[in-house]
Structure 1
């Protein structure tokens, strides 16, 4: 379980805010209950609070508004069936999943990307919904890619990469962040760059995993953070935002995202991306850049 450190919480909030979640609690008889939701967001870092929205017509309404607390489980990209199970009118949604009680007492699903176990701070009526505001009492997060949902379909880091992996002259780069620092490597010309490689015939999904492995770090690709056309090199570029565990890289060095640490970046497009990442990390609100190396747009994902 991760300590309630503000930086760790900010990272967890920002990384998983776009994911599909399963909200869980216990009813008055102690039986577990839960539902799939994507209306989940952070409210406060000090004290740490989150909110979820529940329809007033939900069969879980009475139990949840009187519950002592609830948990928010962020699903991984391979837990689509769990999302479907908790979205359907199934009699026993917990029959086919493994779970345990969290430190605060709410059900925590096994294998999720992140979870937040909350005490109930307040409920607020809002039209045909009620807003459940919980104070985070315990949480845990890992680097496993989360499951997203947009325009009626599930979205995963793998499918996002596969949609572009057959493009010719495709480059992938790894934006590997740890504790407010980002991994940079020697670009061969006296400057610094993100770890990157040409995809060639292996596909983007395989390329980013190989690239991360070459750094010697235990990390996994998260969501696609930037997609742009490098007009100078006549190549497409995909940058994955990654989280890493503790450890030292076998090549490159972690540098802070502040001050003059990025002055040796030789690629202006990547420098601009890192400056955006530094600004977004402060609030934990991230976007995805689409365009070329000179101009484009950032589409919010939180």
Structure 2
């Protein structure tokens, strides 16, 4: 058997998100710790789990507490992660927090939080698996903070840097969704296409989001990269993002339910396949990233969360 340190390093190859698990101790004081051994378990009933080392100073509290919360940190909360990973005297002085619906501390500005009742505790070697039943949650739509090989990474920032470093101009599109519908706009030839803007070499996403919003008349928040490909016939790069669309009616285009998309009226073959794939992946809630050209390429799965705290 490999030594524990080598095994831990091997586990560290897996890209995860970063969470802070919180509850109250017997004296009523809030406690919390950074953990990336988190995953969803079930939708019905709504369950999640997090793993806790038996050597943790929070072990006894988490074995008896009626509930706990999992705060998924956003990409600008590295300082929060560091605070709750170290023996800081008053960790909660560094965050804005309140009690969640079930009573555990939940943080502001997170990517999402889940307030849980204690559903089951499972012995697992030198750890215990804490399974929580979700009693309340909030999803801000922000990008989560990533962690791998002992260091942080921020997916959105990585993608924005990619945009900033592409030579020449390129076309940037968005699969803009709201409540199970996406926005398609006229392509000028009697068909439909995704909202697209041209990006100059010097422009970043801080310029593109207002440009999108001005053209469609709605606020738009770009999320993670969804497709990057080269149109070899036109000699042009294309990048497509997943995006969240604000409330209201669009100034141009039309909202289409994901189950009723006019696929046959999307003339651009690459964008047609992008829209089809998005509709299929939405049913599973598991999105990949396409790399290639307008005719062929590969969809790379996006890693999910799991590791030892």
> TM-score, normalising length from structure 1?
0.87
Deviation per residue, 1:79-105 (Å, 9 max, x gap) = 121122122232322121111111110
Q: 1:150 to 1:203 in 2, by over 3 A?
A: farther
Structure 1 residues without counterparts, runs of 5 or longer: 1-16
Q: 1:204 to 1:190 in 2, by over 3 A?
A: farther
Structure 2 residues without counterparts, runs of 5 or longer: 1-14, 305-309
Q: What residue number does 1:21 align with?
A: 19
Out of 100, 111, 117, which is 1:102 matched to?
100
CA distance in 2, matches of 1:37, 1:211: 38
Q: What residue number does 1:88 align with?
A: 86
Out of 121, 128, 145, which is 2:126 matched to?
128
Q: What RMSD, in angstroms, separates the aligned Cα atoms of the two structures?
A: 2.1
CA distance in 2, matches of 1:210, 1:203: 12
Name which one, 1 or 2, has greater alpha-carbon Rg: 2
1:185-264 matched pairs, under 5 angstroms: 185-214=185-214, 215-259=216-260, 261-264=262-265
Q: What residue number does 2:76 align with?
A: 78
Aligned length: 286
Deviation per residue, 1:149-176 (Å, 9 max, x gap) = 3443312313321133221232211111
Out of 53, 63, 85, which is 1:65 matched to?
63
Q: 1:238 to 1:54 in 2, by over 3 A?
A: farther
CA distance in 2, matches of 1:130, 1:293: 48
Q: What residue number does 2:142 align with?
A: 144
> TM-score, normalising length from structure 2?
0.85
SS in 2 for 1:84: helix
Which structure is richer in relative contact order (CA contacts within 8 A, separation 6 or more)?
A: 2
CA distance in 2, matches of 1:250, 1:43: 40
CA shift for structure 1 position 137: 0.9
Contact 1:172 1:207 in 2 (8 A): no
Contact 2:145 2:152 in 1 (8 A): no
Q: What residue number does 1:158 align with?
A: 157
Contact 1:143 1:242 in 2 (8 A): no
CA distance in 1, matches of 2:212, 2:175: 10
CA distance in 2, matches of 1:57, 1:295: 50
